[in-house]
Amino acid sequence: MMDVMWSIAGFLVAIGVLVAFHEFGHYWVARRCGVKVLRFSIGFGKPLLTRRAADGVEWVVSAIPLGGYVKMLDSREAEVAEHERHLAFDQQPVRKRALIVAAGPVFNFILAVFFYWLIFVVGVEGMRPVIAAPAADSIAARAQLQAGDEILRLGGKDIATWEVLHTELIDQALNGESVIADVRTAAGATRQIELALQNARIDPAHLFDDLGLRPYDPPIAPVLESVLPGEAAERAGLQAGDRLLSVDGEPIASWQAWASWVRERAGAVVQLEFERQGQRLQREVIIGEVDSVGRFGASVAVSAEMWQDLRAEHRRGPVESVQAAMARTWQMSALTLKMMGRMVTGDVSVKNVSGPIQIAQVAGFSAQVGLVSFLGFLAIVSISLGVLNLLPVPMLDGGHLLFYAVEAVKGSPVSDQTMEMGARVGLLMLAGLMSLAFYNDIARLLS
């Protein structure tokens, strides 16, 4: 229940902030261009809160929190008094109309820069990009990477955390070329390796499987912290404090190795040797099963200090953070656009498209993790809104900009028939996109 509440709260805050700033961009530039604004609404549908300012602008919070709009004086929508015609949006030169329309997405990018600036100033915490043993015959294994290696640079860019490495690898994979990585071994020596990214699937769902890269997981001693009632461990008579030694004569090196071994042997009957208060004991264990996956039914004590050496914090000064934030926003904007293009060509699955349900879940999770995580989420969504709205699709800001570009070239506005046809096509495209997003969200929930 708490997760649901966090998701709803995170979603409402995210949409409220991002939509408000997007629409404020339209509003602010419209006022600077001498256009009369009638209404500023967060959400669609029935107004819930309304306030009319002294300048006549109606500020509204509406019932459906999936967007917003700025309504301006426009002679195409209602009759405009002669003395106010110069204040109408449609009476402005094409340059001003384009500036007003472009301001929304531009403000989304500005907001993303601000969020990243805050993140860099506060400091980014994460895990150092130290890798576990690569899967056999993976790209990393063929590059002779080994457990404990740390990737310091990729394609000449410094890599501070796994999050940065993740983004850079996706970005580099979209180029379809090999990339040089600087690596520090567990012994402290440095060397260069080549990752053949052209041999990997670029879809994020498969990329890291093909690469064989996953975070290094320090081995956890197989000492039981607790056993769950009615599960395999309790039925076999194991207790908290027992240290697992071997199974069917094979040594148990770590808790991770034991957990992996158990998952693949649902229903198996095995001989487990363990140590209890200095004594070696044996028990017959029948491995439990949940959805065809083996289950032991016990937890292990994990010390936070185990990962202390793997933690990294990346912080910059206020001035340096401005350039870093702008570079990060540019990179994520380009990456978003590339991913959209690869979805069109089929190289990236459309299953990566997320809708309100998935966004709400991620919003809630990131909000629970902490401020920096939530700010990073807001930055990504703000960039996505900016890129999406600039696509040359009728009904979106980019579609209007396309029509204005045509008008600037031909010297006259696009015909009403063309505008109407474009609006219908754009509406169908957006409806299809929203249907796909909702389908993906529901499919994720059911799976």
Half-sphere exposure of 313 (CA within 13 A, CB side): 6
CA 220 to chain centre: 30
Q: Tell me the Cα Rg of the chain.
A: 28
CA 321 to chain centre: 21
Structure tokens given for 1: 């229940």
The yes-or-no answer on residue 407 being catalytic is no
What is the DSSP-derived secondary structure letter of residue 264? T
Q: Which of 23, 150, 168, 273 is catalytic?
A: 23
Burial grade of 19 (CB within 10 A; 0-12, 13-18, 19 or more): buried
* 3-class secondary-structure state, position 349: coil
CA 173 to chain centre: 18
Neighbours of 127 (CB within 10 A): 15
Question: How many Å apart are CA 116 and CA 432, to the nearest integer?
Answer: 32
Question: How many Å apart are CA 13 and CA 18, to the nearest integer?
Answer: 8
Question: How many Å apart are CA 150 and CA 312, to the nearest integer?
Answer: 12
Give the β-pairing of 298-300 and 224-227: antiparallel
DSSP labels, 36-94: PEEEEEEEEEEEEEEEE-TTSPEEEEEEEEEEEEEEE--TTTS---GGGGGG-GGGS-H
Catalytic site positions: 23
